[in-house]
Amino acid sequence: KKGLMNHNLSLNERNNIYRQIRGEIEYNNKYNQSI
C-alpha cells in the first residue's frame, strides 16, 4: 500500500512539473514575440 501511495504521489508530481514547464514555455513564447 505504501508503494502504491508513493507511485500516485510521483505521478501527481510529474503532472505538476509538466504543467509548470508548459507554463514557462508559453510565457517564454509570449516574451519572445513581444521583442
pTM of the predicted structure, to 2 decimals: 0.55
pLDDT at 22 over 70: yes
pLDDT band at 33 (very low <50, low <70, confident <90, very high): confident
pLDDT at residue 27 in the model: 92
pLDDT of residue 3: 65
Q: What pLDDT is recorded for position 20?
A: 96
Predicted confidence (pLDDT) per residue in 1-21, tens digit: 566 666 676 888 999 999 999
- Cβ neighbours of residue 16 under 8 Å, at least 6 residues apart? none
